[in-house]
Structure 1
Amino acid sequence: MIILGYLVVGAVSLALILLSKSHRTMNAFSILHTLAFLAIGLYVLLTTAVPAFEAGSEYFYVDHLSIYEVLIAALLFFLASIYANGYVESLMQARELHRSNLKIFYTAFSLLLTTVTMAFFSDNLALFWIFAELTTVFSAALVAILSAKENIDAAFKYIFIASGAMLFSFIGLIFLYTLSGEVLGSGTLNWTVLTANATLLSPKMLTASFVFLFIGFAAKSGIFPFHTWLPDAHSKAPSAVSAILSGVLLNVGMYGILRMYAIVRQTQAEHLVSQFLMGFGLLTIAFAVLNMLLQKNLKMLIAFSSMEHMGIILLGIGVGTPLSLFWTLFYVLAHSLTKASLFFSAGILHRQYESNLIQDMRDVLSLQPVAGWGFIIGSFAIVGMPPFPIFSAKFFILLEAFGFSKFLVFAVLLLLVIASAAFARFLIEAFSRSSKDTGIGESETPLHPYIVRKGMKFPILAIIFMILALGVFFPESLENLLNEIVHELGYI
């Protein structure tokens, strides 16, 4: 009944949005939709015995990992829908979003939340593949929603690369189905069955299947060299959408990789696949960081930072120890929240300066103190400064990785220093510049504060509070939840 509850809420919310006549009512139903998903997830976590199959179906499975991912998604969508209340109005006022596309925006937003949720609850790998593909379609629609050619180009690039890579995953599905059929008598793509019988599977064929599946899932998560859609899509999308792309959609691909690795690590292929993941993680971090160092576009800097952190998460999965998985899971939460705050702040700054370029920004803290401080605090948090939660997650992941390769850890540390330098350079150049420094003449129109619309500041302040709280206090309930996930994936 859990999945049915989500589907009913999703369908009712979608119908109400389609029947709505004004932006205010569409946004209100969108907020209620996200709140309902958040409430269902919390109810299931606190009152329902999991893991368990959905009643009457072997294709949907509710365990602590799926609930964890769904709660993160619902929370991010909730904050984004509140932010969208004022942000979408500002887009329409600036004629970047046509009012006739308003219903398309909220429809795609609602469908995206529902399909992401179904993807996380899918026990069947083929079903997960279908929902993952649908998330590409709906998120691409949200990227292309603005009245600009570059947004349409970015959306098509996203679909072409992500869906093209997912065709390789489809080949991996065929391999895996055939392999399971040879061992079990009848083929299956269910996570639970494959995990229970992983030791019976041929390590070589399982590795081949994993590589093909990895290509599609890595493309969904912006892993090098399948990342080329990510910078354009994240930087061109409306900021409310960018926060969802970075904080939720990238997690879908990582979820698939983690589920597959939990199967592989029970076989003799574990060592090879572990090195494979750590290698791609390092390459992704290196490519992203070197691009960050050259960026003068605010949203492009944040986009490449998302790619960097996906590399770190991939590295944490590849290390493959119970402690590294624990902190990798915590890293997913910390990154999702922090990156959302950065994109929300960037959206306000874009409205203030009508630009994302560093040279166009001045008097940031006096004109937009909430967004300015939100970006400063978010920058400190995203580079892993203490006491923010990413610091502890990075520390323990690298500590575990040290036992595998000292060179790997030193290389990652060097790259993290460069990433910190990239954010520091951007902060110094953008936030220290004033109108006097830029030579604004008396005949030129001075900048006036952009009136931030209702709802746009709350998500930034809420996230800052959450990441500060998580940095200094680790809730026992969260610790128990992460330990349950580690146990259910067979690490303990």
Structure 2
Amino acid sequence: MVPSIIPPLLLIGPLAVALFLLTLPWFRESLPDAMASDHTSVRLLERIHLGSIAYVFILSMVALAEVIAGSSLTSFGDWLFIDPLGAIFMMLIGVVGLLTGVYSIGYIRHDVEAGLLDAGKVRVYYGFFSLFLFTMLLAVTANNIIMMWAAIEATTLGSAFLVGLYGQKSSLEAAWKYVIICTVGVAFGLYGTVLVFSNAADVLADPHQAVLWTALVGHAAELDPMLVKLAFVFALIGFGTKAGIFPMHAWLPDAHSEAPSPVSGLLSGVLLKCALLIVIRFYVITVGTVGIAFPQMLLLTLGVLSVGVSSLLFFVQQDLKRKLAYSSIENVGLIVVALGIGGPLGIAAALLHSINHSFTKALFFCSSGNVLMKYGTRDLRSVKGILRVAPVTGLLMMGCALALAGFPPFNIFVSEFMVFMAGLNEGYVWVMLLCALFLCVTIAGLVKMVADSVLGKSPETMAKGDVGWRALAPLAVLFVLVLTMGFAVPTPVSNLIQQATAVVLNGDSRPVVAAPWQSIPTVGKADTASAALVGGLPQTEISK
């Protein structure tokens, strides 16, 4: 591990912007009146916002480059820590945060012009956007397990005000539901965290090290198996609530559908994955203490249930954003199934699917924002002929639907293929058959949506013409990322996934630098499997 100033610098930028926009008295008191009559103040807010998201993106890419090169970064006595596993999720925050943040400019301007937001709420939006980025970055860079819990809890504060931004009855209800369910749910995560800490404090020679994840992993075999099992159950319930795992998912469809579309993209694309990262951290400790069988049973059960229930609810939804929200639950379930399968290919598939789903769902939610701007409704029964009314948005919606359905050459196909290959290789034939059946239901729902809303006959009164370039340019970049990850996973990303897979399998925070075609050893198993990525596709033959 290499001491570095990058982790604290990464956190300071968005936090400073959030405090500047939300708490400084002169700014809070004087700016809203100016914005009511002067667009210059709105432009100033946009520039501050762009500076914040650009700062996060640049610093996250700098940290990512150092991790890929073979250095795990640490600060403040190892309280902050960026290893290959955390770097994947930090990358998602930087990339998706930048693109949804840029998309926010055109989206929020439209809402202001439509009278949906006043000048003061623009400041609130951009302030809490930066605060949301800060809390997620803290969650993925924390090595202190207490701080992990606090950061996940803080993401609720950072995003609840964004969910209720419009101040309508439905959005306020969704925000309160989000706060109550996630606060109660994440409390279970605290119970699990305290159990692990108290047990480790009795075991470790230096009790102060009992809060550090890296120390816990190194001494996992010395922990009490029963306490660790209880802790993992609590952690899975608590942090699984924030990740949207069934049956703790009830907040997610309401919050995702009522939030501004770029925030929905962040919630689905990044926040759910940050919570999954904490589940993975506890998974590594649990496997080191009690073996793979116990966490595997829980993950496979909840994963299959998440895929099954959400696919059926996805099919019957008529609200576009609620439909996408249930799709997020389904894909989180598939990631959990891959984690439950385990092995090099299963873990690599889970991590790759996390990346692919983040890009695809951010693109889809922002595309739904274009539909909302054009049609003024999320009701698919009223949204017809998108391709004729807004051609670029219509093409993006078709591409998103094909990607989410898992068709080549889009990125979701690659990671879903890896999940199924991992499951079949490990002998989980019935689990994979159930997942395939439920995915067919989702595909049918996506086909119906495209046929009715994208390709259907457009309303005669609807003016033709797409939304502005500000709302299309960031989506074009996301679409390129979706295609790129489908054609060939870039070598740096492939290396990072292999290093992160080794962290999960070995319980070792030291990165393993390997070429994309090299296999990752499975520690503690008699057999080994290749998790290699060749040109973005898994090898068809898995050696044992």
Which amino acid in the other structure matches residue 480 of structure 2? F
Amino acid at match of 1:43: V
1:70 alignment partner in structure 2:
90
Which residue does the alignment assign to 1:457?
Answer: 472
SS of alignment partner, residue 68 of structure 1: helix
Q: Could you report, residue by residue, the CA deviation over 1:68-92 in whole angstroms, capped at 9, with x for unpaired residues?
A: 2111111111111111111001111
Give the deviation of 1:480 after TM superposition: 1.0
1:32 corresponds to:
51
Structure 2 CA distance for aligned equivalents of residues 346 and 298 of structure 1: 7
Which residue identity is paired with 2:90?
V
Q: TM-score, normalised by structure 2?
A: 0.86
Aligned mate of 1:434, from 432, 457, 461: 457
1:374-428 per-position Cα deviation (integer Å, ceiling 9, x unaligned): 1110010011111112112111112211224211110001111111001111111
Letter of the 1:280 counterpart = L
Contact 2:144 2:212 in 1 (8 A): yes
Match of 1:84 among 104, 117, 123: 104
Distance 2:13 2:390 in 1: 37
Q: Secondary structure at the match of 1:360?
A: coil
Partners of 1:15 and 1:169 lie apart in 2 by: 28
Distance 1:114 1:82 in 2: 17
Separation (CA, whole Å) in 2 of partners of 1:168 and 1:15: 30
* 8 Å CA contact retained: 2:195, 2:231: yes
Q: Distance in 2 between matches of 1:488 and 1:225?
A: 29
Please list the CA deviations of residues 165-199 of structure 1 after superposition, one character each: whole Å capped at 9, or x if unmatched. Answer: 11111111221112212322537132101110111
Measure how far apart 1:453 and its partner are.
3.4
- 1:401 equivalent to 2:423? Answer yes
Q: Is the 8 A contact 1:295 1:301 kept in 2?
A: yes
**Aligned equivalents of 1:94, 1:477: Cα separation in 2:** 43
Which residue matches 1:479? 494
- Are 1:343 and 2:365 counterparts? yes
Contact 1:298 1:358 in 2 (8 A): yes
Correspondence for 1:61: 81
**Which residue number in structure 2 is paired with residue 271 of structure 1?**
293
Shift of 1:303: 0.7
Aligned-residue identity in percent: 27
The CA deviation at 1:274 is 0.5
CA contact 1:296–1:358 (8 Å) conserved in 2: yes
Query: Does the 8 A contact of 1:34 with 1:75 survive in 2?
Result: no
State the distance in 2 between where 1:320 and 1:371 align. Answer: 38
Structure 1 position 119 matched with structure 2 position 139? yes
Q: How does 1:156-175 map to 2 (within 5 A)?
A: 156-175=176-195
Q: Deviations over 1:206-242 (max 9, x none)?
A: 1111001111111001111100000010011110110
Superimposed CA distance per residue, residues 32-74 of structure 1 (whole angstroms, 9 cap, x where no aligned partner): 2122212112222324675545344221112112222111111
Q: Which of the residues 323, 326, 329 maps onto 1:307?
A: 329
Matched, 1:41 2:60: yes
The 3-state SS of whatever aligns with 1:358 is coil
Shift of 1:16: 5.7
**CA–CA distance in 1 between the matches of 2:301 and 2:171?**
32
Contact 2:321/2:368 (8 A) holds in 1: yes
Letter in 1 for 2:302: F
* Partner AA of 1:463 in structure 2: L
User: In the superposition, relative to structure 1, how do residues 432 and 39 fare at CA in structure 2: closer, same or farther (>3 Å)?
Assistant: closer
Deviation at 1:454, TM superposition (A): 4.3
Q: Distance in 1 between matches of 2:47 and 2:73?
A: 33
Q: 1:411 aligns with which of 434, 446, 450?
A: 434
Q: Name the counterpart of 1:375.
A: 397
Contact conserved, 1:85 with 1:454, CA < 8 A, in 2?
no
Q: Counterpart of 2:186 in structure 1: which amino acid?
A: M
SS of match in other structure, 1:418: helix
TM-score w.r.t. length of structure 1: 0.94
Please report how far the alpha carbon of residue 430 of structure 1 lies from its aligned counterpart in structure 2 after TM superposition. 1.3
Give the Cα–Cα distance (whole angstroms) in 2 for the partners of residues 53 and 184 of structure 1. Answer: 24
CA distance in 2, matches of 1:8, 1:135: 16
Asked if the contact 2:389–2:466 (Cα under 8 Å) also holds between the matched residues in 1, the reply is: no
The equivalent residue for 1:152 is 172
What residue in structure 2 maps to residue 242 of structure 1? 264
Give the Cα separation in 1 of the matches to 2:356 and 2:369. 20
Which AA in structure 1 matches 2:321? K
Residue 443 (structure 1) aligns with: none
Tell me the alpha carbon deviations over residues 232-266 of structure 1, each in whole angstroms, 9 at most, x when there is no partner.
10011110110000001111110011111112122
Contact kept? 1:327, 1:397, Cα under 8 Å: yes
> Distance between the aligned counterparts of 1:451 and 1:398, measured in 2?
39
Alpha-carbon separation, structure 1, partners of 2:19 and 2:174: 29
Distance 2:194 2:454 in 1: 53
Aligned AA (1:203): P
Give the partner amino acid of 1:114: F
Kept after mapping to 2: 8 A contact 1:337/1:463: yes
In structure 1, distance between residues paired with 2:66 and 2:445? 45
CA distance in 2, matches of 1:281, 1:448: 44
Residue range with higher mean Cα deviation, 61-70 or 181-190: 181-190
Q: Is the aligned partner of 1:225 residue 2:229?
A: no
Segments of 5+ residues of structure 2 without an aligned counterpart are 36-40, 507-520, 522-544
1:7 corresponds to which letter in structure 2? L
Give the CA RMSD over aligned residues.
1.8
Alignment-derived partner of residue 331 in structure 1: 353
Question: What CA distance in whole angstroms lies between the structure 1 residues aligned with 2:416 and 2:51?
Answer: 35
Count of matched residue pairs: 484
Tell me how far apart the structure 1 counterparts of residues 211 and 116 of structure 2 sit (CA, whole Å): 44
Could you tell me how far apart the structure 1 residues matched to 2:479 and 2:420 are? 25
Q: Give the CA deviation at 1:111.
A: 0.8
Cα separation, 1, equivalents of 2:292 and 2:225: 9
Structure 2 residue 5 is the aligned partner of structure 1 residue 6: no
Contact 1:342 1:378 in 2 (8 A): yes
Unaligned runs of 5+ in 1: 441-445
1:123-157 C-alpha deviation (Å, 9 max, x unpaired): 01110111111111111110001131110100000
